Amino acid sequence: MNIPFLDNWRKRQGGTHSGALAAAVETDPDGVAELLAECELLRVRAGQNGLELDDTPASLTALDQLPPRWRDDPEELPWLGNDAGLYLGTVIVRTVPGAAWDVWPSGQPVVRLESGREIDVVAAGLDWAMAGSPELSQVYAESAEG
């Protein structure tokens, strides 16, 4: 996964990309959460459709209702899907008690629920962007249940 904002941090720390993210989650979880919440492309595309993303479950439902015009641009599709997954993770981390960002050894950011269950939110976002399923709100609802 390519997370451009980590490049400078990684260079300062002298680590690998995946190691940088894992170290950042350990040392500055709030800072990483803020960086992962940026989701600039998704926020711009949502705004172009009159939707302001406010990091709430209701915004996931609203995203599910948008016409999937991004599917017309094969170059933008994976980036938007990545952002959708990070946004989904952001909503879960901010609204589900005990949920937190974690990193798999591959460097993939995931959300770990209080129960210990891990959710590959980036994969869910990519599936949503490419096929519309599962809906972001559905993944959130399943996560909120534990």
pLDDT digits 0-9 by tens, 65-82: 999 999 999 999 999 999
Highest mean pLDDT among 6-15, 30-39, 54-63: 54-63
Q: Report in angstroms the alpha-carbon separations of 133 from 68, 126, 127.
A: 12, 9, 6
In a domain, 16, yes or no: no
In a domain, 119, yes or no: yes
Q: pTM for the full model? A: 0.86
Residue 128, classified by CB atoms within 10 Å of its CB into exposed (0-12), middle (13-18) or buried (19+), is buried
Confidence grade of residue 26 (pLDDT, cut at 50, 70, 90): confident
What pLDDT is recorded for position 77?
Answer: 95
In a domain, 118, yes or no: yes
Which residue range is the domain that position 112 belongs to? Answer: 30-145
118/102 Cα distance (integer angstroms): 8
The number of folded domains in the chain is 1
Per-residue pLDDT averaged across 12-21, rounded?
57
Confidence grade of residue 17 (pLDDT, cut at 50, 70, 90): low
In a domain, 4, yes or no: no
Per-residue pLDDT averaged across 87-94, rounded?
98
In a domain, 13, yes or no: no
